[in-house]
Structure formats: structure tokens, C-alpha cells
Amino acid sequence: MKAIRISGIGERLTQTHIAIPIPAAGEVLVAVRAAGICHSDAHYRSGIGSLRQLPITPGHEVAGIVESVGAGVSRERVGERVCLHYLVTCGKCSYCRGNIGQFCPDVAMIGKDRDGGYAEYICVPEQNAFTLPDEIPFTHAAVMMCSFATALHALRKARFAEGESVAIFGAGGLGTAAIALSAAMGASSIIAIDNIGAKVKAARSMGAIGIDASDTDVVEAVMDSTDGRGIDVALEFVGLPITSEQAVRSLGVQGRAAMVGLASAPTPLDMYRDLIGKEREVIGVSDHLPEEIDELLALVQQGRLDIAPVISNTVPLDETAVNKVFEEFDSYSGKGIRTVITIE
Ligand SMILES: [Zn+2]
Ligand SMILES: [Zn+2]
């Protein structure tokens, strides 16, 4: 089968032919129909978030059709449309039993610790394959598996409540998903901050107040938009020290900043000025929970959440096209929101 893989840290992705994997006991083999290209994939290629093996097939936003099943899995699943939860866990440890499987000592992420979706086929445990309703396209399901699921988890971790205001730092895949979700969940106002004009414009077209960080004092602009009170919930999706600091300093009294972007450098915070004096909170957000996938599928089925605005482009499973998206991520120059690899 065709696969686009990371062969070495910092190297261009390479297109290769490898054997179609054989599903082990309890696993399903899925013919990939859509795989989102996430900024994290470019981070893994650069060496941020260490990869457990090389070469590896990246891709953790995956949807497709069950092609075959391993021992112990019902044959009835063959032909089922599915989307894949990207964390494979033991299911038995205290973290798994406590429904926080992302901290399982044996956790393996598809596309990082085991082969992911930039390929024609992928194997996962059958419990990772969620039934995808017919009315949800594969491309939509793919981006729900990371961008939307993680944005939902961030809102939950920040204890977002209906009627609160939300500021979103970074209007890329996750940020745009967060705009759509915050609106669906009843945010009183949504501010989106990015330094790329096209992304600010896209955020505005989704109903957010757009702030262009390239020509504005971001914290001042957020304060102006909230009558000087500051924001209730800030979601940080960029991972740069500057945006992390802005997220915290934009908060109002008892505001919560959920940090999601994979940071590559420390953020200087003044404990009194930035946190204590206003009882602000900084919250780390890692991945998401399987139950949040069910919640998202339900929101889309009920017509409350539209995934389409997040997908800006589709490309075939092709080395040149995928490398171009990675280059845009590395230079933070991409004008699109989320590119999805599609396989007919
Ligand atoms: Zn991702
Ligand atoms: Zn476990």
C-alpha cells in the first residue's frame, strides 16, 4: 500500500510502498478515506514530542471503512463507516478505569507511537473505531478526531459555562473548531486572535470578533472588546511564549486559560500580576476523551455544529502536496485552516 512517512527528524516526508498491515486479535483494518494534516504532525517531524519509532506513518485524524477484522472481532463490522479515536490504551490501569486514558502508562498515539493515517490502510483496536453516521462525510469526521475533540476537551477543562466569553489564540484547525464549538455551546462572545490576516477574516466570517495580532496590542484589544473586564475563558492553541502570556493576561477575574498548543519554550509569568491578583487559573490540556467523540458526533447529527468551515482544502495522498502543508506549518505561513488528505 502507499504510505507517506517520517523517516528522520527534520527530513522531508517520503512516499513509500509498504505491506498492508494485518489486524491482530481485537483489531480492525480500516481503509483510510480521509486523514487530516494537523500542526502536531509537523511538530513530531521537527522533533517536538518524541517519536517512539522511525520510520513512522503520521496522521491521527482518520476516518474510513472497516476492510477486515482480526480474531475476536465481529465480522459484522466489515464495511462499517468509522472514525478513529487516536489514543490506544490498555483499558485496565487506574487511569483507563478512571476515564483518563490519555495518562495510561501504555498509551500509544496513532501517527506518533504507532502507524497513522497518511496511508491507504491502518490497523487499530476495534474499540478505537467509532461508528460514523452516514450523513457525516469522512473529511468532517477526520477533523473531528483531533481539532474538534481537543477543542471540546479544552472548553471542558476550562469549565466553560453557557453565557461566558471565550478568547481563542490561534485561528487554525483547533482554533476554528473552538469558534464553532463555543458558538454551539452558547458563548456570549467569541474573540479570535491570529497574526495571519486571512485567518482573522475566516474567524470573522464564522461570527467571531477577529483581532489581527500583527498590528494590534492583543491584550489591550481583548480588554477593549470586554469593556475592560477581561475574558472568562482563553484557549491557547499556538504554543508560543508570547501567545501563552497574552492568553493569561487577557483573562478577567477568575478567568481560566487552557493551554493546548505544544510549547517549545518557557513562558515567563509574574505570579502576582498575572495570576494571584485576579485568581486566574492556567490549565494544561492533553488530548481528549472517547466520550467527547460521541458528544461531537451527536452535536453534528443534531445540526448544532457545522464542521465544514474548518476544512479549507483537500489533497490526495501525495508526497509533494503533503510536504507543502508541513512547510507552511513550520513557517507559520499557511493561509488555509485545515487540509485533509482524501483517498477515493
Ligand atoms: Zn492533532
Ligand atoms: Zn491504561
- Return the domain boundaries, the chain: 2-147+288-342, 159-284
Q: What is the mean pLDDT of each run of 10 residues along the chain (344 residues)?
A: 96 97 98 94 86 93 98 98 97 95 96 97 98 97 94 98 98 92 97 95 96 97 97 96 97 98 88 96 96 95 91 94 92 79 94
The pLDDT tens digits for 4-25 are 999 999 999 999 999 999 999 9
- Ligand number with the minimum distance to the CA of 35: 1
**How many angstroms does the Cα of residue 111 sit away from the middle of ligand 2?**
19
- Which amino acid is located at 284 in the chain? G
Distance 40 CA to ligand 1 centre (A): 5
**Which ligand approaches the C-alpha of residue 108 most closely?**
2
Q: Which ligand has the shortest distance to the CA of 105?
A: 2
Please give the CATH superfamily to which domain 159-284 belongs: NAD(P)-binding Rossmann-like Domain (3.40.50.720)
Locate cell 466569553: which residue? 165
Element housing 14 (H / E): strand 14-17
> Any idea which ligand is nearest the CA of 49?
1
Instruction: Return the H-helix or E-strand segment holding 180.
Output: helix 173-184
Sheet of 189-194, strand order: 209-212, 189-194, 165-169, 231-236, 251-259, 281-284
Q: Are 27 and 124 a contacting pair, CB within 8 Å?
A: yes
Ligand 2 centroid distance, CA of 10 (Å): 31
238: nearest Cα among 226, 228, 246: 246
- By the 8 A CB rule, do 315 and 321 touch? yes
Locate 63 and state its grid cell. Answer: 476516518
pLDDT digits (tens, 9 = 90+) for 176-228: 999 999 999 999 999 999 999 999 999 999 999 999 999 999 999 999 999 99
Q: Which ligand is nearest to the CA of 117?
A: 1
Q: Residue 100 C-alpha to ligand 2 middle, in angstroms?
A: 9
CATH superfamily of the domain spanning 2-147+288-342: Medium-chain alcohol dehydrogenases, catalytic domain (3.90.180.10)
Q: Distance (Å, rounded) from C-alpha 91 to C-alpha 73? A: 17
Residue 291 Cα to ligand 2 middle (Å) = 16
pLDDT value at residue 157? 98
Which is it for strands 14-17 and 27-37: parallel, antiparallel or unpaired? unpaired
**pTM of the prediction?**
0.89
Amino acid at site 91: G
Question: What is the Å distance from ligand 2's center to 101 Cα?
Answer: 6
Using CA atoms, how far apart are residues 283 and 67, in angstroms rounded to an integer?
40
Per-residue model confidence (pLDDT) at position 325: 94
Show Cβ contacts of residue 179 under 8 Å, excluding neighbours closer than 6 positions.
Answer: 168, 171, 190, 192, 203, 206, 207, 208
Q: Which ligand is nearest to the CA of 91?
A: 2
